[in-house]
Protein backbone atom coordinates (compact mmCIF):
# COMPACT_ATOMS: atom_id res chain seq x y z
CA UNK A 1 0.00 0.00 0.00
CA UNK A 2 1.21 3.54 -0.75
CA UNK A 3 4.13 2.29 -2.87
CA UNK A 4 4.02 5.48 -4.94
CA UNK A 5 4.87 7.60 -1.90
CA UNK A 6 8.58 8.15 -1.37
CA UNK A 7 9.84 7.66 2.19
CA UNK A 8 7.23 8.83 4.82
CA UNK A 9 7.27 5.39 6.47
CA UNK A 10 5.49 6.61 9.62
CA UNK A 11 2.64 8.29 7.75
CA UNK A 12 2.22 5.24 5.52
CA UNK A 13 2.22 2.90 8.53
CA UNK A 14 -0.46 4.90 10.37
CA UNK A 15 -2.76 5.00 7.35
CA UNK A 16 -2.16 1.38 6.28
CA UNK A 17 -2.98 0.10 9.77
CA UNK A 18 -6.20 2.11 9.91
CA UNK A 19 -7.25 0.90 6.46
CA UNK A 20 -6.35 -2.72 7.23
CA UNK A 21 -8.31 -2.67 10.48
CA UNK A 22 -11.15 -0.74 8.86
CA UNK A 23 -10.91 1.86 11.63
CA UNK A 24 -10.72 4.97 9.52
CA UNK A 25 -11.16 8.41 11.11
CA UNK A 26 -13.51 10.76 9.30
CA UNK A 27 -11.01 13.60 9.14
CA UNK A 28 -7.27 14.18 8.93
CA UNK A 29 -4.66 16.89 8.72
CA UNK A 30 -1.74 15.93 6.53
CA UNK A 31 0.94 18.23 7.85
CA UNK A 32 4.34 18.95 6.31
CA UNK A 33 6.41 21.02 3.92
CA UNK A 34 5.63 21.26 0.22
CA UNK A 35 6.73 18.40 -1.97
CA UNK A 36 6.66 15.74 0.74
CA UNK A 37 3.82 13.71 -0.82
CA UNK A 38 0.78 14.92 1.13
CA UNK A 39 -1.55 15.34 -1.86
CA UNK A 40 -0.33 12.17 -3.55
CA UNK A 41 -0.96 10.23 -0.34
CA UNK A 42 -4.49 11.64 -0.13
CA UNK A 43 -5.16 10.57 -3.72
CA UNK A 44 -3.74 7.08 -3.17
CA UNK A 45 -5.86 6.85 -0.02
CA UNK A 46 -9.00 7.64 -2.04
CA UNK A 47 -8.01 5.06 -4.67
CA UNK A 48 -7.37 2.36 -2.05
CA UNK A 49 -10.79 2.79 -0.46
CA UNK A 50 -12.68 3.04 -3.73
CA UNK A 51 -10.85 0.45 -5.83
CA UNK A 52 -13.29 -1.93 -7.55
CA UNK A 53 -10.81 -4.80 -7.87
CA UNK A 54 -8.72 -4.82 -4.68
CA UNK A 55 -11.01 -4.82 -1.65
CA UNK A 56 -9.14 -3.04 1.16
CA UNK A 57 -10.95 -5.11 3.79
CA UNK A 58 -9.51 -8.29 2.31
CA UNK A 59 -6.09 -7.35 0.94
CA UNK A 60 -3.39 -4.81 1.75
CA UNK A 61 -2.28 -4.68 -1.88
CA UNK A 62 -3.51 -1.08 -2.24
CA UNK A 63 -5.34 0.18 -5.35
CA UNK A 64 -5.20 -1.84 -8.60
CA UNK A 65 -4.59 1.36 -10.64
CA UNK A 66 -6.58 -0.06 -13.59
CA UNK A 67 -10.24 -0.23 -12.62
CA UNK A 68 -12.70 2.52 -13.50
CA UNK A 69 -12.49 4.09 -10.03
CA UNK A 70 -8.69 4.14 -9.98
CA UNK A 71 -8.56 5.58 -13.51
CA UNK A 72 -11.12 8.28 -12.77
CA UNK A 73 -9.34 9.31 -9.59
CA UNK A 74 -6.00 9.50 -11.43
CA UNK A 75 -7.60 11.62 -14.18
CA UNK A 76 -9.36 13.88 -11.68
CA UNK A 77 -12.81 12.91 -12.97
CA UNK A 78 -14.03 10.82 -10.02
CA UNK A 79 -17.36 12.27 -8.85
CA UNK A 80 -16.75 11.52 -5.17
CA UNK A 81 -13.31 13.06 -4.87
CA UNK A 82 -13.49 16.82 -4.36
CA UNK A 83 -10.45 19.06 -4.24
CA UNK A 84 -11.39 22.18 -2.28
CA UNK A 85 -8.80 24.78 -3.24
CA UNK A 86 -8.29 28.22 -4.80
CA UNK A 87 -9.16 26.93 -8.29
CA UNK A 88 -12.46 25.57 -7.02
CA UNK A 89 -13.14 28.85 -5.22
CA UNK A 90 -12.63 30.78 -8.48
CA UNK A 91 -14.73 28.26 -10.39
CA UNK A 92 -17.78 28.70 -8.15
CA UNK A 93 -17.39 32.48 -7.86
CA UNK A 94 -20.46 34.35 -9.05
CA UNK A 95 -18.75 37.67 -9.55
CA UNK A 96 -15.36 38.59 -10.97
CA UNK A 97 -14.55 40.38 -7.67
CA UNK A 98 -14.83 37.05 -5.81
CA UNK A 99 -11.98 35.57 -7.85
CA UNK A 100 -8.26 35.61 -7.09
CA UNK A 101 -8.68 35.86 -3.32
CA UNK A 102 -5.73 35.07 -1.02
CA UNK A 103 -7.88 33.22 1.54
CA UNK A 104 -10.24 30.25 1.24
CA UNK A 105 -13.58 31.68 2.31
CA UNK A 106 -16.81 30.49 3.87
CA UNK A 107 -18.59 30.22 0.49
CA UNK A 108 -16.21 27.49 -0.55
CA UNK A 109 -16.80 25.51 2.65
CA UNK A 110 -20.56 25.93 2.27
CA UNK A 111 -20.23 24.60 -1.27
CA UNK A 112 -18.40 21.61 0.21
CA UNK A 113 -21.05 21.08 2.86
CA UNK A 114 -23.74 20.93 0.18
CA UNK A 115 -21.92 17.93 -1.27
CA UNK A 116 -20.92 16.30 2.02
CA UNK A 117 -24.34 14.93 2.93
CA UNK A 118 -25.21 13.68 -0.56
CA UNK A 119 -24.76 9.92 -0.93
CA UNK A 120 -21.72 8.76 -2.87
CA UNK A 121 -22.57 8.39 -6.56
CA UNK A 122 -19.98 5.96 -7.94
CA UNK A 123 -17.65 5.27 -5.11
CA UNK A 124 -17.92 3.67 -1.73
CA UNK A 125 -16.19 6.60 -0.03
CA UNK A 126 -16.35 10.32 -0.59
CA UNK A 127 -13.20 12.37 -0.17
CA UNK A 128 -12.86 16.12 0.35
CA UNK A 129 -9.32 17.43 0.23
CA UNK A 130 -8.88 21.01 1.41
CA UNK A 131 -5.64 22.65 0.31
CA UNK A 132 -3.95 24.79 1.59
CA UNK A 133 -5.99 24.46 4.79
CA UNK A 134 -3.97 27.14 6.57
CA UNK A 135 -5.36 29.70 4.13
CA UNK A 136 -8.93 29.29 5.35
CA UNK A 137 -10.59 32.28 7.00
CA UNK A 138 -11.81 32.00 10.60
CA UNK A 139 -15.41 31.94 9.32
CA UNK A 140 -14.51 29.09 6.98
CA UNK A 141 -12.91 27.14 9.85
CA UNK A 142 -15.98 27.66 12.03
CA UNK A 143 -18.20 26.50 9.24
CA UNK A 144 -16.04 23.40 8.71
CA UNK A 145 -16.22 22.66 12.43
CA UNK A 146 -19.94 21.92 12.08
CA UNK A 147 -19.22 19.17 9.57
CA UNK A 148 -16.47 17.74 11.75
CA UNK A 149 -18.86 17.64 14.70
CA UNK A 150 -21.49 15.74 12.71
CA UNK A 151 -19.41 13.63 10.38
CA UNK A 152 -21.36 12.12 7.50
CA UNK A 153 -20.99 8.37 6.81
CA UNK A 154 -18.31 7.06 4.50
CA UNK A 155 -16.81 10.48 4.03
CA UNK A 156 -13.22 11.48 4.65
CA UNK A 157 -12.09 15.08 4.91
CA UNK A 158 -8.36 15.70 4.56
CA UNK A 159 -6.88 19.09 5.39
CA UNK A 160 -3.50 19.63 3.79
CA UNK A 161 -1.33 22.16 5.59
CA UNK A 162 2.26 23.20 6.14
CA UNK A 163 2.06 24.19 9.81
CA UNK A 164 -0.17 23.24 12.68
CA UNK A 165 0.00 26.67 14.34
CA UNK A 166 -2.18 28.15 11.62
CA UNK A 167 -5.08 25.75 12.25
CA UNK A 168 -7.48 26.45 15.17
CA UNK A 169 -7.17 24.03 18.11
CA UNK A 170 -10.89 23.25 17.86
CA UNK A 171 -10.22 21.79 14.41
CA UNK A 172 -6.96 20.03 15.30
CA UNK A 173 -8.57 18.29 18.28
CA UNK A 174 -11.23 16.73 16.04
CA UNK A 175 -9.01 15.30 13.36
CA UNK A 176 -6.15 12.85 13.12
CA UNK A 177 -2.83 14.58 12.41
CA UNK A 178 -0.39 12.75 10.14
CA UNK A 179 3.07 14.31 9.79
CA UNK A 180 5.08 14.30 6.57
CA UNK A 181 8.83 14.78 7.01
CA UNK A 182 11.12 16.56 4.53
CA UNK A 183 12.84 13.95 2.39
CA UNK A 184 16.53 13.16 2.81
CA UNK A 185 18.83 14.36 0.03
CA UNK A 186 19.62 10.79 -1.01
CA UNK A 187 15.90 9.96 -1.23
CA UNK A 188 15.28 12.92 -3.54
CA UNK A 189 18.31 11.96 -5.64
CA UNK A 190 17.16 8.33 -5.92
CA UNK A 191 13.74 9.51 -7.04
CA UNK A 192 15.22 11.75 -9.76
CA UNK A 193 17.40 8.91 -11.04
CA UNK A 194 14.60 6.34 -11.08
CA UNK A 195 11.70 8.48 -12.23
CA UNK A 196 13.47 10.95 -14.52
CA UNK A 197 16.56 8.92 -15.46
CA UNK A 198 19.02 11.60 -14.36
CA UNK A 199 22.67 10.64 -13.87
CA UNK A 200 23.69 10.26 -10.25
CA UNK A 201 25.85 13.41 -10.32
CA UNK A 202 23.08 15.53 -11.78
CA UNK A 203 20.47 14.06 -9.43
CA UNK A 204 22.70 14.63 -6.38
CA UNK A 205 23.28 18.26 -7.40
CA UNK A 206 19.59 18.99 -7.78
CA UNK A 207 18.66 17.05 -4.61
CA UNK A 208 21.06 19.15 -2.56
CA UNK A 209 19.24 22.32 -3.59
CA UNK A 210 15.74 20.88 -3.14
CA UNK A 211 15.33 21.20 0.66
CA UNK A 212 13.77 17.74 0.93
CA UNK A 213 10.97 18.60 -1.52
CA UNK A 214 10.17 16.49 -4.61
CA UNK A 215 8.19 19.40 -6.05
CA UNK A 216 11.14 21.76 -5.75
CA UNK A 217 13.51 19.14 -7.17
CA UNK A 218 11.29 18.69 -10.23
CA UNK A 219 11.05 22.44 -10.79
CA UNK A 220 14.83 22.75 -10.58
CA UNK A 221 15.16 19.85 -13.00
CA UNK A 222 12.75 21.39 -15.50
CA UNK A 223 14.60 24.71 -15.33
CA UNK A 224 17.83 23.02 -16.36
CA UNK A 225 16.04 21.03 -19.06
CA UNK A 226 14.37 24.14 -20.43
CA UNK A 227 17.82 25.27 -21.43
CA UNK A 228 17.65 22.60 -24.17
CA UNK A 229 13.92 22.57 -24.89
CA UNK A 230 14.33 24.67 -28.05
CA UNK A 231 17.46 22.84 -29.21
CA UNK A 232 15.65 20.62 -31.72
CA UNK A 233 13.94 23.52 -33.48
CA UNK A 234 17.20 25.48 -33.48
CA UNK A 235 19.22 22.62 -34.95
CA UNK A 236 16.70 21.77 -37.64
CA UNK A 237 16.37 25.36 -38.81
CA UNK A 238 17.29 25.93 -42.47
CA UNK A 239 18.94 29.23 -41.71
CA UNK A 240 21.63 27.73 -39.49
CA UNK A 241 25.17 27.98 -40.95
CA UNK A 242 27.85 25.42 -40.11
CA UNK A 243 29.63 27.96 -37.92
CA UNK A 244 26.42 28.54 -35.93
CA UNK A 245 25.99 24.81 -35.40
CA UNK A 246 29.55 24.52 -34.09
CA UNK A 247 29.06 27.43 -31.69
CA UNK A 248 25.85 25.82 -30.45
CA UNK A 249 27.60 22.51 -29.97
CA UNK A 250 30.40 24.10 -27.99
CA UNK A 251 27.97 25.88 -25.67
CA UNK A 252 26.01 22.71 -24.95
CA UNK A 253 29.11 20.55 -24.49
CA UNK A 254 30.31 22.37 -21.36
CA UNK A 255 30.50 19.05 -19.56
CA UNK A 256 29.58 15.43 -20.17
CA UNK A 257 26.36 15.52 -18.09
CA UNK A 258 25.01 18.56 -19.95
CA UNK A 259 25.85 16.91 -23.27
CA UNK A 260 24.05 13.69 -22.27
CA UNK A 261 21.06 15.67 -21.06
CA UNK A 262 20.87 17.62 -24.34
CA UNK A 263 21.04 14.37 -26.33
CA UNK A 264 18.28 12.86 -24.17
CA UNK A 265 16.01 15.85 -24.81
CA UNK A 266 16.81 15.83 -28.55
CA UNK A 267 15.90 12.12 -28.61
CA UNK A 268 12.50 12.91 -27.10
CA UNK A 269 11.87 15.51 -29.84
CA UNK A 270 13.11 13.22 -32.61
CA UNK A 271 10.93 10.36 -31.36
CA UNK A 272 7.81 12.51 -31.75
CA UNK A 273 8.67 13.19 -35.39
CA UNK A 274 9.73 9.57 -35.97
CA UNK A 275 6.20 8.41 -35.17
CA UNK A 276 4.87 10.64 -37.97
CA UNK A 277 7.58 9.86 -40.51
CA UNK A 278 9.75 6.88 -39.55
CA UNK A 279 11.76 6.84 -42.82
CA UNK A 280 13.04 10.37 -42.35
CA UNK A 281 13.91 10.15 -38.68
CA UNK A 282 15.15 6.57 -38.12
CA UNK A 283 18.79 7.43 -38.87
CA UNK A 284 18.66 10.46 -36.60
CA UNK A 285 17.36 8.38 -33.72
CA UNK A 286 20.14 5.88 -34.34
CA UNK A 287 22.75 8.64 -34.43
CA UNK A 288 21.39 10.11 -31.18
CA UNK A 289 21.60 6.74 -29.50
CA UNK A 290 25.18 6.21 -30.78
CA UNK A 291 26.16 9.69 -29.55
CA UNK A 292 24.81 8.95 -26.11
CA UNK A 293 26.84 5.76 -25.96
CA UNK A 294 30.02 7.63 -26.97
CA UNK A 295 29.40 10.26 -24.31
CA UNK A 296 28.84 7.61 -21.69
CA UNK A 297 32.14 6.05 -22.71
CA UNK A 298 33.89 9.39 -22.05
CA UNK A 299 34.30 10.55 -25.65
CA UNK A 300 35.03 14.28 -25.98
CA UNK A 301 31.60 16.01 -25.69
CA UNK A 302 32.45 18.77 -28.21
CA UNK A 303 33.52 16.26 -30.87
CA UNK A 304 30.47 14.10 -30.36
CA UNK A 305 28.04 17.03 -30.42
CA UNK A 306 29.76 18.72 -33.42
CA UNK A 307 29.14 15.59 -35.45
CA UNK A 308 25.67 14.96 -34.07
CA UNK A 309 24.37 18.51 -34.56
CA UNK A 310 25.76 18.73 -38.10
CA UNK A 311 24.25 15.32 -38.86
CA UNK A 312 20.79 16.32 -37.62
CA UNK A 313 20.85 19.57 -39.57
CA UNK A 314 22.04 17.88 -42.78
CA UNK A 315 19.51 15.05 -42.50
CA UNK A 316 16.65 17.50 -42.15
CA UNK A 317 17.86 20.09 -44.64
CA UNK A 318 20.07 17.90 -46.84
CA UNK A 319 23.11 20.16 -47.39
CA UNK A 320 26.17 19.50 -45.33
CA UNK A 321 28.53 16.61 -45.98
CA UNK A 322 30.24 15.32 -42.91
CA UNK A 323 32.50 12.63 -41.63
CA UNK A 324 31.17 9.30 -40.36
CA UNK A 325 32.04 7.95 -36.95
ZN1 LIG B 1 -8.72 -0.05 -8.79
**Predicted local confidence at residue 257, as pLDDT:** 86
H/E/C letters for each residue in the chain? CCCCCCCCHHHHHHHHHHHHCCCCCCEEEEEECCCCCHHHHHHHHHHHHHCCCCCCCCCCCCCCCCCHHHHHHHHCCCCCEEEECHHHHHHCCCCHHHCCCCCECHHHHHHHHHHHCCCCCCCCCEEEEECCHHHECHHHHHHHHHHHHCCCCCEEEEEEECCCCCCCHHHHCCCEEEEECCCCHHHHHHHHHHHHCCCHHHHHHHHHHCCCCHHHHHHHHHHHHHCCCCHHHHHCCCCCCHHHHHHHHHHHCCCHHHHHHHHHHHHHHHHHHHHHCHHHHHHHHHHHHHHHHHHHCCCCHHHHHHHHHHHHHHHHHCCCCCCCC
**Predicted local confidence at residue 115, as pLDDT:** 92
Phi, psi dihedral angles at 108 (to 5 degrees): -65, -40
pLDDT in tens, 168-192: 999 999 999 999 999 999 999 999 9
**In the CATH scheme, what is the code of domain 9-181?**
3.40.50.300
Residues shown for the chain: 325
> What separation in Å is there between the alpha carbon of 162 and the centre of ligand 1?
30
> What separation in Å is there between the alpha carbon of 78 and the centre of ligand 1?
12
Q: What percent of the chain has pLDDT over 70?
A: 97
pLDDT band (50, 70, 90) for residue 117:
confident
> What separation in Å is there between the alpha carbon of 59 and the centre of ligand 1?
12
Provide the residue ranges of all domains of the chain, joining segments of one domain with +.
9-181, 187-225, 227-317
pTM of the model: 0.71
> What separation in Å is there between the alpha carbon of 17 and the centre of ligand 1?
19
The more confident residue out of 49 and 272 is: 49
Mean pLDDT within 275-286: 89
Mean pLDDT within 260-280: 86
> What separation in Å is there between the alpha carbon of 240 and the centre of ligand 1?
51
Mean pLDDT within 298-314: 94
**Predicted local confidence at residue 275, as pLDDT:** 82
Q: With a cut of 60, say whether residue 54 has pLDDT above it.
A: yes
Q: With a cut of 80, say whether residue 122 has pLDDT above it.
A: no
pLDDT band (50, 70, 90) for residue 271:
confident
Mean pLDDT within 79-94: 95
> What separation in Å is there between the alpha carbon of 125 and the centre of ligand 1?
13
**Predicted local confidence at residue 320, as pLDDT:** 55
Amino acid sequence: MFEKIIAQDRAKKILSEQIKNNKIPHAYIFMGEEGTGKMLTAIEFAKTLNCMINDYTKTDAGPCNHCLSCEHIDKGTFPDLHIINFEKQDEIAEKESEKGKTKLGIRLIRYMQDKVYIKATDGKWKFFIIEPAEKMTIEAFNCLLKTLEEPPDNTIIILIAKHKETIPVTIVSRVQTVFFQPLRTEEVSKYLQEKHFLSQDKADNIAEMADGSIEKAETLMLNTQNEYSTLWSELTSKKLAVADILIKSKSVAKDRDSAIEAVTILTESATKFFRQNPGKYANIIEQLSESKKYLERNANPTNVLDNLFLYINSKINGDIKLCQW
